[in-house]
Structure 1
Amino acid sequence: KKRLTTQDVILLNSFIFGTRKESDASKSNQKFKSYDKETVQYILKYQKINNLNNVQTAIYFKISRNTLAKWKKNFLS
C-alpha cells in the first residue's frame, strides 16, 4: 500500500507483537492513541457485525468503553 491507515497500523501491530500481557509502560502509552474518522467507523462497524457490547469491543481493540460510548453517541446519532 502507498498509504497506511490507522486501522492498518493496528493490524500490523497485532501481527508483530501479538497479544502479550501488557507491561506498565505500554499501559501508560494507551492514553496517547488517536483515531481518525475512518478507523472509528471501522471499529463501530466491527462491533455491530460481531454483536459485541462496549466492554467486549473495548477489550479487543484495547480502548476505553467510555470512548466507544462517546463515539457511538457522536457518529451513530
Structure 2
Amino acid sequence: MSNLPKINYKRIFSDILDKKYPDKKDKCLGILDKNNLSALDIIELNKRIFGPLDTETDQFNQRHRSYTEFSIFQILDYQKENKLNNSQLARHFKLSRHTVAKWKKKYLV
C-alpha cells in the first residue's frame, strides 16, 4: 500500500481555482500555502470552492470519508480546545457520536 503515489491536492485545487473559480482564490490561499494538507484542510477547501452541498450529496459523501490518524488527533484536539462534548463535536464535523467515542477510546486511553 505504501507504493501508491501520493495525491497532490494542492495542485488539483490550484488548477480548479485557476481555471474555474479565480474569484475564490483569495479565500483559499491560506490553506493552499501549507506544506501538507490534512483531510480537514481538504474538506474545508472543498466547502470554500464549491459551497454547501444538498442534503443527499452530503449524506453520500459522508459515508465515503476516511480520516488519517493525524486528522483524528486534530479533531480530538479541537474538542479539547473548544470544550465540546462528543455530541457537539460530532455535529460540528458531521460524524457519528459513536465514531467520536471509538476514536477517543482507541487514541486517548
Question: Normalising to structure 1: TM-score of the pair?
Answer: 0.83
Alignment deviations for residues 4-58 of structure 1 (CA, whole Å, 9 cap, x no partner): 221211221232344x474213212211110000000000000011010111111
Query: Which amino acid letter does the alignment assign opposite residue 89 of structure 2?
Result: T
Aligned to 2:41: 8
Structure 1 gap ranges (5+): none
Structure 2 gap ranges (5+): 1-33
Structure 2 distance, partners of 1:36, 1:53, is 21
Show structure 1 runs of 4+ deviating over 4 A: none
| Alpha carbons of structure 1 residues 37 and 55: separation in structure 2 relative to 1, 3 Å | same
Structure 2 distance, partners of 1:35, 1:71, is 11
Aligned-pair RMSD on alpha carbons?
Answer: 1.8
Structure 2 distance, partners of 1:45, 1:9, is 18
Structure 1 distance, partners of 2:43, 2:35, is 17
Same amino acid, percent of matched pairs: 46
Aligned to 1:75: 107
Query: Which amino acid letter does the alignment assign opposite residue 35 of structure 1?
Result: Y
Q: Say which structure, 1 or 2, has more relative contact order (CA 8 Å, 6+ apart).
A: 1
Bigger radius of gyration: 2
Structure 2 distance, partners of 1:2, 1:48, is 25
